[in-house]
Structure 1
Amino acid sequence: MPVFPLPAVSAFGRRTLGLAALSLLALTSAHAQEATERTQVIAVQASTAEWSDPLEALGTLRADESVTLSATVTETVAELNFDDGQRVAEGELLIRLDDSAEQAELRAAQALRREREHAVRRAQQLQDRNVGIRADVEDAQAQLAQVDAQIDGIQSLLADHRLRAPFDGTVGQRNLSVGALVTPGTELVTLDKLDHMKLDFTVPATVLDMLAPGLSLSATTPSYPTRTFRGEVTSIGTRIDPVSRSVSVRARLPNPERTLRPGMLMVVTLERNPRQTLMVPESVLVPSGERQYVMRIDRDADNRIQRHPVEIGKRRVGSVEILDGLAPGDWVVSHGMNKVRDGDHVDILALDDGSREISEILKAARDGEDG
């Protein structure tokens, strides 16, 4: 059989074939790399949490107990036993008015009582020896009782000269001095019980069926913009305002640090219909028409993405309630959703639990790769 020699290939042809082979190899490698690379995403876990339907209102703080002590007699101030903002105990003497005249009357009445006691004893002894009559004993006893009543009146008048704290509390600013003349009705000092505060506010009568004593609430005030105070409803008004169609509500806020003050304006958030519910960050939702979806991560199928429909409930800032479509513990994509499709397999860069910023998570991931 004749042998036909292969045609000779020029140097230029060999160069062209080499470049083509290299291009094919590069293209094949690129496709292989593309097939093996997986998108990195950050995930969040669906979890149950306390949830409620918030209702906001404006309220005003009042002291748990509050009183303004006033003078009931005309007299000069003899003694002041408190400083501005001092905490005092129930029964503690705060102000004493000059009572020298009343003290003199009391001493005279007490001396007269001792004399009347002796008279009663003498009359009783005479009657016991049958040399006195019963009428003399009764007259002496009546005169003694009259003196006792006089002493009681003087002691009551002396009590009006002493102003004591009716309950544990904090006194206000002192605006009088020793020697000042006061008259009945003169306001001397305020006393407030501040370890708990009353919070009064109004809400529309249309939500009356959702109100009940014990309902939780939170409150904020511009005086402490970074703090949230929590309390609960203690009572609901018995009447509806015919003009505003609102009902008054009173709540109680613990105030152990005594930072809250009577008269403060508070922004109240009532936590209606409290419940345990499933929640996820609002940013994981993928809207499509009137429906909502999430990119669920099936960890049992090598982190395969499922575009999963969900039914949502109430929303709050940054979070949304999930009524159906997810279970507690399910993972969904929170960052990188625009890079994945239904059926893709992904690598989970981190699980975002809300304790760190995304920039910190990404930096930690880069540092881990570098290491």
Structure 2
Amino acid sequence: MNALQEQKNYLTVLAPFEGVVTTRNLHTGAFVIAGGNNGAVPIFRVEKIKTLRLVVAVPEAYVDGVKEGNEVSFAVPAFPDRTFAAKISRMSHSLDLRTRTEMVELDVDNSDRILLPGMYADVIWPVTRQAKGFVVPMRTVAATTEKTFVIRIKKDGLTEWVDVKRGNAAKGMVEIFGPLHEGDMIAARATDEIKPGTKMSAQTAHP
């Protein structure tokens, strides 16, 4: 009797946690083989969807703004008119050497079960700026193996290289950071062939 009762207990499959069956690979009457054998497949796939995990690859330039517990907004294509919130819960504290990004995980409260695992999210990431920057045409920024720079034209008409760092870039424009000031004149097209001390005439560009 005990042996029969133990075998009967195997007829009921209990999940180790509360969740939703998202995949059913076998149905009533199917032949089930032991899980250790080749070709075996899980009978069910159960997922906890009350709390979802959102994984974001944060570019190196923005990792300074990543703090555990901070709330971040995001949207999904399925609900274009809604914005959702998630809290930063875990950080990798290292950069992917290929993509120069840090993997950050956020917990999403999905108690209403409106979001589904596997959805793509458009994340509105909070960005902080430690220094004042300028937006200039990409052609005004040059780079060598040692530095990135723009060419400033001084009041006496002589040029000088000014080291800068690149920020975001879009539509032919790029954000730069460096010891520049409003009103500085820079060369319309930068190249390392224009050496410091070259005489140039400065003209104000008109849109």
Q: TM-score, normalised by structure 2?
A: 0.53
Cα deviation for residue 270 of structure 1 reads 2.1
Cα deviation for residue 248 of structure 1 reads 0.1
* Aligned-partner SS, 1:199: strand
Matched, 1:178 2:28: yes
Partner residue in 2 for 1:259? 114
Matched, 1:242 2:92: no
Larger radius of gyration: 1
Contact preservation (8 Å) 1:233, 1:251: yes
Of 175, 186, 205, the match for 2:60: 205
* Aligned-partner SS, 2:80: strand
Letter in 2 for 1:220: A
Instruction: Determine the C-alpha separation between the residues in 1 that align with 2:64 and 2:101.
Output: 13
Letter in 2 for 1:201: V
Matched, 1:218 2:68: no
CA change 1:245–1:173 in 2 (3 A) is closer
Partner residue in 1 for 2:18? 168
Instruction: Determine the C-alpha separation between the residues in 2 that align with 1:172 and 1:243.
Output: 34
Q: Which moved more, 1:158-167 or 1:188-197?
A: 158-167
Letter in 1 for 2:85: R
Cα deviation for residue 158 of structure 1 reads 6.4
Contact preservation (8 Å) 1:216, 1:271: no
Contact preservation (8 Å) 1:215, 1:271: no
Deviations 1:230-285 (A, max 9, x none): 11111111331111111100001111221111111000112356xxxxxxxxxxxx
Give ranges in structure 1 of 5+ residues lacking alignment.
1-103, 108-153, 274-371
* Equivalent pairs, count: 123
Letter in 1 for 2:88: V
Instruction: Determine the C-alpha separation between the residues in 1 that align with 2:126 and 2:10.
Output: 48
Partner residue in 2 for 1:311? none
Contact preservation (8 Å) 1:215, 1:270: no
* Aligned-partner SS, 2:117: coil
* Aligned-partner SS, 2:118: coil
Instruction: Determine the C-alpha separation between the residues in 2 that align with 1:182 and 1:221.
Output: 38
Partner residue in 1 for 2:155? none
Instruction: Determine the C-alpha separation between the residues in 2 that align with 1:105 and 1:204.
Output: 60
Deviations 1:197-239 (A, max 9, x none): 1100101123222211111111111111111101111111133
Contact preservation (8 Å) 1:210, 1:272: yes
Letter in 2 for 1:205: E
Partner residue in 2 for 1:106? 3
Partner residue in 2 for 1:193? 48
Matched, 1:269 2:124: yes
Letter in 1 for 2:89: T
Instruction: Determine the C-alpha separation between the residues in 2 that align with 1:225 and 1:174.
Output: 30
Whose RCO is larger (CA < 8 A, sep 6+)? 1
Instruction: Determine the C-alpha separation between the residues in 1 that align with 2:23 and 2:96.
Output: 36
- Which has more helix, going by share of residues? 1
* Aligned-partner SS, 1:201: strand
- Which has more strand, going by share of residues? 1
Instruction: Determine the C-alpha separation between the residues in 1 that align with 2:8 and 2:98.
Output: 50
Instruction: Determine the C-alpha separation between the residues in 1 that align with 2:101 and 2:113.
Output: 30
* Aligned-partner SS, 1:207: helix
Contact preservation (8 Å) 2:23, 2:46: no
* Aligned-partner SS, 2:50: strand
Instruction: Determine the C-alpha separation between the residues in 1 that align with 2:85 and 2:18.
Output: 23
Letter in 1 for 2:100: R
Letter in 2 for 1:183: I
- 1:343-362 correspondence runs (5 A): none
Q: What's the C-alpha RMSD, in Å, of the aligned pairs?
A: 2.3
Identity percentage over the alignment? 27
Instruction: Determine the C-alpha separation between the residues in 2 that align with 1:233 and 1:165.
Output: 28
